[in-house]
Amino acid sequence: MHLKSKIKKIVLSVLIVILITLMAGGNAGVKGIFKFPDTVGNRFELEIIKLSNKGIIEGYPDGTFRPNAMVKRSEIATLLVKVKNLTLYKPSISKFKDVATNNWAYGYIMAIQKDGLMVGYPDGTFKPDGNVTRAELAVVLGRLKGLENEASKITHPTITAYDINKVPSWSMPYVDLGFQPQYNFLTGRAGYIAPQENATRGEVAYGLYVATNPPKFGGTLKAAVLTNPVTLDTQITTATIPSTFGMHIFETLFTYDENGEPIPLLVDSYNVSNDAKTYTFKLRKGIKFHNGKEMTADDVVASISRWGRLSTNGKGLFSEVESWTALDNYTTQMILKNPINVPAYLASDLMVASIYPKEVIDKVGDTPLKFTPEEIIGTGPYKFIEFVSDVHIKLIRFEDYSPRNDIPNGLGGRRTVYPDVLLIVIVPDRTVRALGVITNLYDFAEDISPDQYGKLRIDPNIMTSTVLKAWDSSIFNKKQGIFTSQKMRQAFLAALDMEACMKGAFGNTDFWGLGPHLMGKSTPYYTDAGKKWYNQKNIERAKSLLAEAGYKGEPIRWLVSSDYPDRYNIALIAKDQLEKAGFVIVLKVVDWPTLLKTRTDPTLWDIFDTDFRYFSDPVFILAIGPNYPGWYVSPTMAQYLSQMRSETDIETRKIIWEKAQTLFWEDVPAIKYGDSMILYIFRTTLEGYRKYSISYYFFFNMWKES
Amino acid sequence: MVDTEEKNFFSRFKGLKLVFKYRSITIGLALVTLLLLASLLAPVLSTHNPMYKDPNIRLSAPSREYFFGTDNLGQDVYSRTLYGGRLSFLTGFSVMLISGFFGTLLGLIAGYYRRLDFIIMRVLDGFMAFPSILLAIALTAVLGGRLSNVIIALSIVYTPSSARVIRSVVLIIRETEYVEASKSIGASSLRIIFCHILPNSFAPIIVQGSYIFARAVILEAALSFLGVGVPPWIPTWGGIMSSGRPYMMVAPWIIFFPGIVAILAVFGLNFFGDGLRDFLDPRLRGVRSM
Amino acid sequence: MRQYLIKRILALIPVLLIVGFVGFLLLNLIPGDPALVILGPEATLDQVNKLRAELGLNLPIYLRLIYWYARLFRGDLGYSIFSSLPVLQAIFERLQPTLLLTIFSLIIASAIGITSGIVAALKRGTWIDQIATGFSIFGLSIPSFWLSLILIIIFGVWLRWFPVAGYVPLKDGFLKTLHTLALPSITLGFVDSAFISRITRSSMLEVMSQDYIKVARAKGLSYRKVIVKHALRNAILPIITCMGLTLGNLISGAVVVETIFALPGIGQLALSSILRRDYPLTQGILLFTAVVFVLVNLLVDILYVFLDPRIKYG
C-alpha cells in the first residue's frame, strides 16, 4: 500500500516534468519568420519594420521590400498622407500641369499640396514619376515636423560634411535640422549628404519614422555582456568588451568611418609630407576631459607614447617612429623612419590609442588603469562612474562633451549619446543574457547562442544582428616540441574536415562560414589564396605526411579553455578526425588564467585554441607575428609584413598579402577552421544609427523609444 | 552481575532477514542496483556510441532513435547517460571508500587517544569551516580538472565529516564495560580498537558512507556544472548537464534527463541509508545499554 | 558557563589559523597568475614581472604568509587585486544579497521542514508519513543547479512570474528585492528543508516516546497542548542545531544558486575571485565564511545551554 503510493508519486512527478520538457523542446527548430527577407541586416531594418507595422509603408506583392529602390514623388505623397492621416483631396481642377485628375495618386498629391508639404516646381509641374531626391526628402520631412520657423532662422549650416557646399540653398536649413541630434531624421552616406542623389526606400522609411517618433534624451540603456573586463585601460587590453565600452569613455585621434577607413576624430586636420614620413596633426580645440581640463598636445604625446610602449599595435608603429613631439599646444608631429599609414594604427578599435590626461599617465606609468574615476578619465561622451565586479559598469553622460560637427559617419562625425546612463551588466550565462532581453531586463545583449536565432527572429520585441566576429583557430607551438616540424603541421591540416568542425560547434549555417581568407570580405584584402590547402578532408594524405614526418605516436597536448565552449567543441570534433589519421591527442582543459600561464611556457603544450578578430589591416594579424604564443619565426613572412607596413598603395599591398596568405597555408603556423558570426540582440525599443563597418556594437546616436 | 557476553560482529547477521522487512532499504537498494546495473550494462543497453558526433542531428528532441535526444555535438544523451552512470557511481563509490577509510582512521585515533583528539579535531573543524563547494573548487583547481583529481578533492572534503561521526561513536563505545574489562585484563590498545571498537562502528560507517556517496555524486555534478570539475565532454551526469547549459532554452532534455537519473540514484542511496540507519540504530542502542 | 564560553571562543583561534593557512596554501598552489590575467596574452615578460612586483607576488611564499598573518592580526585583509578595493569592503558590498538569500531560504526551509517533520512524526507509519519522508529525501537528492534551471524555465520564462536573473538591492524597494530573490530562495529552501524535516521528525519521535509525554496524555491534556507545550519545546533543540548548521552551510549552497541567478553575493564573488586568481580577496572570503560558520555554531551551542537545563558544562 505504502509502496504503491510512493511509486505513484514518483511516476506522476516524472511524467509532469517530461511533459514540460517536451513542450519546451517542441519549440526548438522553428524556422524564423521575418517580414521582409531583403531587409535582414539593413541599417534601416528596425524603422522599416516599425513603419510597416503601423501600416504606413508596405512591401511588394512578392514579399520583398527593396530597401534600396528609389521612391517616386507620387509614392512619397501617399506615404505622407498616411503618416499625417490627411483626407484625400480631389478638387475638380488639378494644380499641377502633369498630374491629371485621373492619376492614381491625384487625391494624395493634392492633399499634400494643400497641406503645404510638397509644393511642386516653379514651372507648375509636380513630376509625380520623378524620384525624390535626398534634398527634397529633407525639406518634406522638415515640413512634416512643422519646422518652418526653425528653418527660417538658419542662414548658415551648423553641420559639416564632405559635400556640404553641394546642398542647394532652398533645402539647406532642413538638411541642417535633419542632422541635428534632437531631430535626427536624416542619415549620411559615408560622410556625404548627397543631396541630389535619389533617396532610397530605406532612407525614406527611416526619415518618416524618426520624424514622427523623435529621439528622446534620457533613460538608462542596459547592455548585457559576457564577462568582467579585467581592466578598462584600452591602450593595453586585447579583450573586446573593455575596448568597445572604453571607446564610449575615451577617444582617439582617428576612428573608422562607415567604410572602415580612418577619419579624424580628435584631430582637426592633418598633413602628410611628400615623402610620407612626416605627419603633422592639428588637434581640435576646447575638448574637455571628464575632469574639466582641456586636452592639449602634451596629453596626446604622452598618451600615444604610452600606447606605443604597451600595446602590440603601438609597438609595431613605434618601431618605425623616429620622433613624436608636440610642436605647440595644439599641434603634434610624428616623424617616421619609413612611410607608414599612421592613421590606420591610430584608429584601431582594439589596443586602442586612447587619449588620457598627462597627469594620469604620469601617475600610473605603465601599470594598467584601475577602476576608479580618478584614473579612468577620457574625453568621450560617457563618463566612468563605478565598476562593481561581476555586476556592472556604470557610465553617465558627460555634459561637457565636445562633439564634432560633421554628420555621423560610422564611428566618426558627431557622436551623440541619448541615454543618460549606460549600464553594462555582466551576465556570464548565455541563456540568461538572452532571457534577460526577452523579458525586458536588458535592452541589448551580446553573444547569444545561434541556436536561439529561430525563436528570437520571430519575437516581435527583438531585433537580431549578425556580425562577422572572428576566425577560429588553433595555434601550433613552433618553438619546441612536435610541431616544430612543418610536415607534422601539414599532416594535421590535411586530416581536417572544416565543415564538420564548424557545423558541430556552431550549428545554424547562418552563423559560420568557410574559406581560407584571413581578411574580411568587406576589406580590399579579401582573397582565397591558399585555398587548395584549406579543408582537404584527406585522411590518407595526412597519414602519409605523418609517416614522412616520422611520427611515432607521441601524445599531442592540446590546451583548451573551459571558458569558451565553441572552441573546445571544435577541438572535440577535430580530435576524432585526427585520430582516424593516426594522431594521438590529449586534450587538457584548464581555466583562462591557467591557460594564459601555461601558454607562456613552450615545454607544456603543443597546440592551443583561440579566435582572431577580423582587423582592418593585415599587419594587425597576431597569429603571423613572432611574439604571439606559438612563436612563428619566418623570415619570408616577416619580410612580407614589413613591406606591407611601408607600402601605402592598396594594389601593391594586395599582391603582397596574397603571397603572405599563401605562405600561411603552406607553412601552417596556425590552422583556420572557419569564420564565426556573433549574434547580438536588441529590443526594438532601441532606435537609431546602425552602420558600423567593424563587427562590434556601439551606442552612439542611439536612443530608447519613448 | 555484569553480563560480559560479548556480542561479536557476526551475531548481527542472524537478523539479516529482518533487514528486508524495512521498505526503505529494499526500495533504495533496488533503485541503486537497477541504475548501477544499467550503467554497467551500458555497452548492451546503449543505442549509440556515446562519443559519436554527428553535427547534422545536433540538439534534436527525444525520439525513438534517441531516447533522451541529442546534445550540441549530436551525441546521444541516453547512451551518454548510461555510460555516465559508470563514472558517477565510480566517483561516489571511490569518494565513499577513500573518505570512509581516512575518516575512520582519523576518527578512531581521535576518539581513542585523548591527546591527539584535540589537535585532530581542531584541524578537522578548520576544514569543516570551509564551505565545501569552495574547498572542492580550490582543490580541483590545484590538482587539475580530471576525474581522478575530482575524486581526491571530494574525498578530502568529506573526510572530516566521516571522522566526526566515527569519533563520536568511538567515544561512546570506549566507555562501555567490556572495553574496560578488556583493558583491565591487559589487552593492547590496538587489539581493543580492532576487535571491539571497529566492529561496532561499522554500522555508522556504512550509513555515513551511503550519505557521502549520495552527496559526492551531487557535488561532482555541481562542480562539472560550474565548469570546474571534469571537462564537459566526459560523460558524468554533471558533465552532460553542464554541456547542456548554454542550450537550456532550445534543448532542455540535455539537462533534464541526466538530472532525473542522478536524482533517482541519489534518492535510492539516501533512502537506503535512512533505512539502514533505522534498522541498525536500536541495535546500537543495545550495545550501549549493556 | 563563562568558562565554557571562553574555552569555546579560544578554540576558534586555531580553527581560523588553520583556515587561513590552508586557504593560503591552496590558492597559491593553483596554477595561473593574476598579473597575466590583467595584462592579457600579449604582455611581455617585463610587464608581467613589474606588475607582479607591484602586487607583492614576487616574494617567497613563506614571507607572504607571514605578512598576511601579520596584517590579519591588525584587522587588515589587504586589497583585491582586481577591483583595488579593500577586501573587507568588497565583501561587505556583496553581503546584502547573500544575507537576504540565506534568511529567506532558512525561513522557507524551516517552514516546510518543521511542518512536514511534525506531520510525519504525528502520523508515523501512515502513508502521509511515507510521502512526507519520501518528499524530504527527494529534496536531499536534487542538485540545486538542476532545480534552479527547472524553476527558471517554468516560472521565469513560461509564466513570467519572476525575473530569470538579476538582483534589485533593498534601497530600490523591498518588494522588488523579494521578487528577485524568490526563485533562488525557493531552490535553496526546498533542498535544505529536507534536512530540517528529517531532524524534526526524528526529534519529535524521540521526544514523543518519552515517559513524560505519556504522563501528560494520561493526565488528560489535549493532544494539541501536549504537542505544542511539551513535545515541540523539547524537540526544538536538535532542530535549532540543524537550522544553525544550515545557516552556516548556506554560504556554500549559495555559490551555485548565486551564479545561476546572477546574484551579486559572496558565493558568486568567491567563485569568480578564485577563477581570476585574486588571492587576497579569495582568502578574505574564505576566512570570513569560516568565521561566520564558527560563530553561528557557537551561538547555537549557547542557545542550547539556555534552552536545555539538563545540559551542564564544566
Q: What's residue B13's pLDDT?
A: 54
The whole-angstrom separation of Cα B264 and Cα B31 is 7
Q: With a cut of 50, which residues of chain C have pLDDT below it?
A: 313-314
**What residues have CB less than 8 Å from B114, skipping those under 6 apart?**
none
Query: Which residue among A9, A238, A390 sits closest to C42, beta carbon to beta carbon?
Result: A238
Report the pLDDT value the prediction gives residue A158, as an integer from 0 to 100.
Answer: 93
Instruction: Read off the pLDDT of residues B168-198 as tens digits, 9 standing for 90 and up.
Output: 777 777 777 666 777 777 767 777 777 777 7
Percent of chain B clearing pLDDT 90 (strictly above): 17
Question: A435 to chain B: which residues are within 8 Å by CB?
Answer: 249
Looking at residues A26-30, what average pLDDT do you find?
Answer: 35
**pLDDT at site A5:** 53
Q: Is the per-residue pLDDT at B60 higher than 70?
A: yes
Instruction: Answer left, alpha or beta for residue A243, where phi above 0 means left and psi between -120 and 50 means alpha.
Output: alpha
Which chains does chain A touch, 3 or more C-beta pairs < 8 A?
Answer: B, C
Distant-in-sequence contacts of C308-311, Cβ < 8 A, 24+ apart: C308/C237
Asked if the Cβ–Cβ distance from C19 to B133 is below 8 Å, we say: no
The position carrying cell 539479516 is B16
A101 in contact with C at a CB cutoff of 8 Å?
A: no
Instruction: Tell me what pLDDT residue A496 has.
Output: 94
Categorize the per-residue pLDDT at A355 as very low, low, confident or very high, splitting at 50, 70 and 90. Answer: very high
Residue contact C32–A593, C-beta within 8 A = yes
> B284: pLDDT confidence band, cut at 50, 70 and 90?
very low
Strands A556-561 and A382-388: unpaired
Give the model's pLDDT for residue B8: 55
Of C37, C131, C156, the CB nearest to A596: C37
Share of chain B above pLDDT 70, in %: 87
A21, A452, A572: residue with CB nearest B253: A21
Kindly report the nearest CA distance between residue C128 and chain A, in angstroms: 9
For residue B289, pLDDT beyond 80: no
- The C-alpha of B185 sits at a distance from chain C's nearest C-alpha, in angstroms, of 32
- pLDDT tens for each residue of A139-191: 999 999 999 999 999 989 999 999 999 999 999 999 999 999 999 999 999 99
Closest CA to A117 of A83, A91, A157, A155: A83
pLDDT of residue A29: 32
* pLDDT score of A691 more than 80: no
A226 touching chain B per CB within 8 A: no
Query: How many Cα atoms are found within 13 Å in the side-chain-facing hemisphere of B166?
Result: 32
Identify from B249, B255, B267, B274 which residue to disrupt to test chain A contact, counting A C-beta atoms within 10 A and taking the largest count: B249
User: pLDDT for A588-599, tens place per residue?
Assistant: 888 878 888 888
Residue of A nearest to B23 (CA): A3
* β-pair partners for A254: A264
C-alpha grid cell, residue A58: 508596405
Q: B interface mutation test: which of A561, A572, A578 has the most B CBs within 10 A?
A: A572
Stretch A61-83: mean pLDDT: 92
- The predicted model gives A282-296 an average pLDDT of 95
Task: Name the closest residue on chain A to residue B260, using Cα atoms.
Answer: A14
Confidence (pLDDT) at B288: 29
Amino acid at C285: I
Type of residue found at A629: P
CA neighbor of B219 nearest in space, from B162, B269, B151: B151
pLDDT at A374: 93
pLDDT at C253: 66
Average the pLDDT over B130-138 and give the result: 84
- Is the Cβ pair C262, A598 closer than 8 Å? no
Residue C268 contacts A where some CB pair is shorter than 8 Å: yes
Which residues on B lie below 8 Å from A28 (Cβ)?
59, 61, 250-251
What is the reported pLDDT for C173?
A: 81
Measure C19 CA to nearest chain A CA, in Å.
24
- Chain A, chain C: beta-carbon pairs less than 8 Å apart: 126
Across the interface, do A504 and B74 touch by the CB < 8 Å criterion?
Answer: yes
Residues of A in contact with B145 (CB under 8 A): 562, 589-590
CB contact under 8 A, A590 and B61: no
Stronger pLDDT, A14 or C47, i.e. the higher one: C47
* β partners of residue A581: none
Indicate whether B227 pLDDT > 60. yes
Kindly determine whether residue B73 and residue A569, on different chains, have CB atoms separated by under 8 Å: yes
Helices (DSSP H) in C56-126: which residue ranges?
A: 61-73, 87-93, 95-122
Which chain B residue is nearest to residue C144, measuring alpha carbons?
A: B222
| Separation between Cα atoms, residue A341 and residue C24, nearest integer Å | 51
What is the structure's pLDDT at B290?
A: 23
pLDDT at A638 over 70: yes
- Number of inter-chain CB pairs under 8 A, B vs C: 127
pLDDT bucket at A693, cuts 50 / 70 / 90 = low
- B91 closest CA partner among B139, B39, B154: B154
- Could you give phi then psi for residue C214, rounded to 5 degrees? -65, -35
* A185-238 per-position pLDDT tens digit: 999 999 999 999 999 999 999 999 999 999 999 999 999 998 888 889 999 887
Count other C-beta atoms under 10 Å from residue B124's C-beta.
23
For residue C50, give the 3-state DSSP assignment: helix
Contacts of C172 (CB under 8 A, 6+ apart): none
Tell me the chain A residues in contact with residue B29 when contact means C-beta distances shorter than 8 Å: none
Which pLDDT value is given to residue A7? 62
- The pLDDT mean for chain A works out to 88
pLDDT above 70 (res B9): no
Over 90: is that where the pLDDT of A261 sits? no
Cβ <8 Å between C140 and B270: yes
Partner-chain residue, chosen from C153, C198, C289, that has the shortest CB–CB distance to B131:
C289
- Residue of C41, C50, C269 with shortest CB distance to A599: C41
Q: Examine the pLDDT at A124 and tell me if it is beyond 60.
A: yes
Touching C (3+ Cβ pairs <8 A), the chains are A, B
The predicted-structure confidence for C80-102, as pLDDT tens digits, reads as follows 888 778 888 888 888 888 889 98
Of the residues A12, A562, A591, A592, the best mutation for testing chain B's interface (the one with the most B CB atoms within 10 Å of its CB) is: A562
Most A CBs within 10 A among B248, B254, B267, B270, hence the mutation to make, goes to B248
The mean pLDDT value of chain B amounts to 81
- Residue B76: how many CB atoms within 10 A of its CB? 25
Cα distances (Å, whole numbers) of residue A237 to B6, B225, C18:
74, 29, 38
pLDDT, residue A592, reads 79
In C, residues 114-153, which contact B (CB 8 Å cutoff)?
Answer: 133-134, 137-138, 140-146, 149-150, 153
pLDDT at res. A658: 92
Distances (CA, A) of C125 to C122, C135, C210: 9, 15, 18
* Helices A201-212, A73-84: inter-axial angle, 10-degree rounding: 20
The residues, any chain, with a CB within 8 Å of residue A257's CB and separated by 6 or more, are A190, A191, A263, A409, A410, A411, A412, A413, A693
A607-627 pLDDT, tens per residue? Answer: 998 888 887 778 777 777 776
Residue of chain C minimizing CA distance to B124: C15
Q: 3-class DSSP state for residue A608?
A: strand
pLDDT at residue A14, as a whole number: 64
Smallest CA–CA separation between A594 and chain C, in Å? Answer: 4
Q: Would you say A449 and A566 are in contact if contact means Cβ atoms under 8 Å apart?
A: no
Interface test with chain C among A596, A609, A622, by most C beta carbons within 10 Å: A596
Q: Which three cell numbers stand for residue C91?
A: 565583501
Q: What is the three-state SS of chain B?
A: CCCCCCCCHHHHHHHHHHHCCCHHHHHHHHHHHHHHHHHHCHHHHCCCCCCCCCHHHCCCCCCCCCCCCECCCCCEHHHHHHHHHHHHHHHHHHHHHHHHHHHHHHHHHHHHCHHHHHHHHHHHHHHHHCCHHHHHHHHHHHHCCCHHHHHHHHHHHHHHHHHHHHHHHHHHHHCCHHHHHHHHCCCCHHHHHHHHHHHHHHHHHHHHHHHHHHHHHHHHHHHHHHCCCCCCCCCCHHHHHHHHHHHCCCCCHHHHHHHHHHHHHHHHHHHHHHHHHHHHHHHHHHHHCC
Cβ contacts (< 8 Å) between A24 and chain C: which residues? 153
Flag if A572 and B72 touch (Cβ within 8 Å): no
CB proximity under 8 Å: A 420-479 to B = 429-431, 434-435, 449, 451-452, 455
Mean pLDDT throughout A50-54?
87
Q: Tell me which chain A residue has its CA closest to the CA of residue B261.
A: A14
Is residue A543 predicted with pLDDT exceeding 60? Answer: yes
| A60-83 average pLDDT score | 92
Closest-CA distance of chain A to residue B81, Å: 16
